[in-house]
Amino acid sequence: MQLTQDQIDAYKRDGFLVFPELFTPAEVAVLREETERLRHIEADGIFREGEDGKAKTMFRMHEPDGPTYSPAYRGLSRTPRALGVAQQVLGDERLYMHHCKVNMKPSIEGTVWHWHQDFGSWHLDGIAEPTMATMMVMLDDATEIGGCLYMLPGSHADGRFDPYYDESTVYKFWATPAAMVKARMEGAPDPVAITGKAGTVAIFDCNTLHASGHNLSARDRWQIYLCYNLCANRPGDVENPRPDYVRSRNWAPMALEEDDAILATRPLAAE
């Protein structure tokens, strides 16, 4: 899949691009089935929140050597529509995956992700340069009431802001201080709601400010995040590195696979 110059320019200007229904309902169905299968196992990199005991976040489905492995996720991460697009926006063919996660924001109970830049925490993982991009893949229709993602256009241009460790949500994480977010919003275009049908994809710069709200709808909101980095920009040593499922140490360049790499894991479903 070849991006146009207009798309590359829009990515550079806005810090993100959206591709409506880039993955088909059949591909989404396979990824959903795999997600459902994995959320019942016990392993590092699977986080259960709330009282139903179900996983809400899972990591590292793309690597064959771990308990959360899913061949379909591996296929997804290497398709020309995912890896190929990341190679083009990052301008480099030698990419590895810093991590892969799926967030299952539950109906009614699933809460806010405060405004943040992914490079806020990734820099703390020892990564020097912001030559990274996140690809989000919707496994449900994403709506505003359902807690979709929002992007602040152009917010990547000022680089990284020092984050603070936000402990106000169950999944504590590095968020951008409110004063910085407000300053960046002054005079900037309004945040864009990333809504769409399942299979829709957004790819965004690691310094693009993004957030999501409470899921007030009757349906869970499942979204995959594939985080690509240049092999040349692999992390340096840090004290107390985060676990491999979130700070990968597999820095080998990923190879593109055929575009049917997801369905090829289910030969019968592909017929």
List of residues contacting ligand SIN (CB under 6 A): 103, 113, 149, 210, 212, 223, 225
Residue 103 interacts, among ligand SIN, Mn ion, none and using kind-specific CB cut-offs from 5 to 8 Å, with ligand SIN
Residue number of the CB atom closest to ligand SIN: 212
Residue number of the CB atom closest to Mn ion: 118
Closest distance to ligand SIN from the beta carbon of 6 (Å) = 26
Instruction: Check if the beta carbon of residue 236 is closer than 8 Å to that of residue 140.
Output: no
Which CB atom, from 198 or from 263, has the smaller least distance to ligand SIN? 198
Instruction: Check if the beta carbon of residue 180 is closer than 8 Å to that of residue 161.
Output: yes
Instruction: Check if the beta carbon of residue 103 is closer than 8 Å to that of residue 56.
Output: yes
For Mn ion, the binding residue among 63, 118, 140, 220 (CB under 5 A) is 118
Residue 257 interacts, among ligand SIN, Mn ion, none and using kind-specific CB cut-offs from 5 to 8 Å, with none
Structure tokens at 69: 């492995």
**DSSP 8-class letter at 263:** G
Q: What whole-number distance in Å separates Cα of residue 127 and Cα of residue 229?
A: 9
Helix (H, G, I), strand (E, B) or coil at 225: strand
Which CB atom, from 2 or from 168, has the smaller least distance to Mn ion? 168
Helix (H, G, I), strand (E, B) or coil at 173: strand
Residue 205 interacts, among Mn ion, ligand SIN, none and using kind-specific CB cut-offs from 5 to 8 Å, with none
Which CB atom, from 93 or from 141, has the smaller least distance to ligand SIN? 141
Rounded to whole angstroms, the maximal C-alpha distance in the chain is 53
